[in-house]
Chains A and B, each alone.
Chain A
Amino acid sequence: MSMPAAELELLGPPIKGPSALGSDWRRFVRLTWALATTDFRLRFFGSALGYLWQLMRPLMLFGVLYAVFSQFLKFGGDVKYYAVALLTGIVLFSFMSEATVQSVRSLSNRENLVRKIEFPRLAVPMATVLTSLFNLALNLVPVFVFLLAAGARPRWSWLELPALVAMLALFVLGISTLLSVLYVRYRDVEPIWDVVLQMMFYASPIFYTASIVRDKAGEDVLRLMMCNPFAMILQQTRHAIIDPSHESAASAIGGAPWLLVPLFIILAVVAIAYWLFDRAAPRIAEDI
């Protein structure tokens, strides 16, 4: 049975059902913000030392790694501000690992919302990444404190930081979106991603430096390593924030044009993630 055409015209288009972004971007932004700030507050109000614990986690890891590599293995002695460089790596990696690991189950954890109200589905992984971004902002405070305490002076290149963080956040958002939607269908995404994260930790110059890779493994290995967007962003952050003696990402990868490779990877991950998520969005409520 179908409606008379004249009446259909008055009604306007039929409703579309659930989607990734929804029809009203302001609602999308508000929801993402509300979800992210709520999570953030909960983590802080949950315990008396909320803020301290948030700082402690990367600092503890930093303490262990620093003791092992710097004191016992006599590692990084010739690297300027090695401690701060290590901390920077840990803080950025913590952001990536926290955001993505939390995102994997984000849709299932918010099942109640997904099944009970209409809202843009992408707000869920987006909010998870945003919460981690707040934490990153907090964790960057000790980085700068350590840096200034170690004797560094502010430089204009510090202004690169927001752009670098934004790039990393985009990459992380892509991964998070991808993982969250895959998890709805395939539950073993979770352990797989844990392993991949471990690999990324060791395959990125977090506790070692680019120059060590070049010396020990050769130019090609370093260039390959820099194709990983995370490694590239970390390297550039060290160059811009800590000291120019840490080589820039462009130099590490063997020339600025090569930077297009990690940049392309970021965009590809985001594009694939969005495409998959958008395709799955109408059925997420029933598939969870």
Chain B
Amino acid sequence: MLAWHGFQCRVPAAWEITAFSTNPERGRLILSTRDGVSAEVSWRRLRAPPDIPRIHAEIHRRWRESTAALQPRGDSSAAALVHAERGSLVLSHGSFDEPTHASAVLGERTLVHWMFFRDRDHDVVLDSLASNDTDPRRCAAWSIDVALPARFELAEAEPLPANVTLRFTDVHHHSIILQRWGLASHLLAARSPVEFLASVLHARDRRDIVTSAGTFRGHAAASARFKTAGEAGFDKYLGRHWPGTALLWHDATANRLNLCEQFHPRKCTPLDPDAVVSTSI
């Protein structure tokens, strides 16, 4: 599953995000397999109705320019794009070895443009392509899949190898940090999830940590309550502490450790992790 700014869809399991932008106004994701780049998706908030065939032609022209050095010399087979409609999508095809373009306006004003570099996986993506301007809003990337109230915006994404972190905040500075580690058995070693969670929170300078063991959706889990230095407003300068909670669970089957941590000013209400985490994290 892939859900990002303005769109959501299913993608082949082998596709991984290898480049990304977090800007909700415009940006792109590059999806790759071990054989190279499979597809590129870009989004853009619109002010006026788009001329999609012209956009495809311009993107395709730039792609041809950027790959001109890789094409055989004297290759003049650069055919014009052929446009077709498929539901709300506009598809554009070039020559057989050139990328295929697909665009749609999703929600009220988000233009989503896909550029597929191989033919075989179009249908999986395009059949499931839908708007993500709903409440709650979904965010699914790097196997983290959550649905958060629409007031939360993606503030930071840090996809390190086997250690992915997504941080969301709302206008009241309520922060939710979702983290997913690989190599769980190696990270835990002889420690319990409670000990691991305590060490993570200590490393982040959380204070007054109270932990307890439990289960979450059938997995061994640890939960914690803590306080942390206020990050915004007068609380930051007056040294007031904000309350926070954390839930860590160990998915032994996937060999992953998942963490849902949140902290906020005192007037905010924490979210229930069970409602936030959609299918997996």
Q: Do A and B come from one complex?
A: no
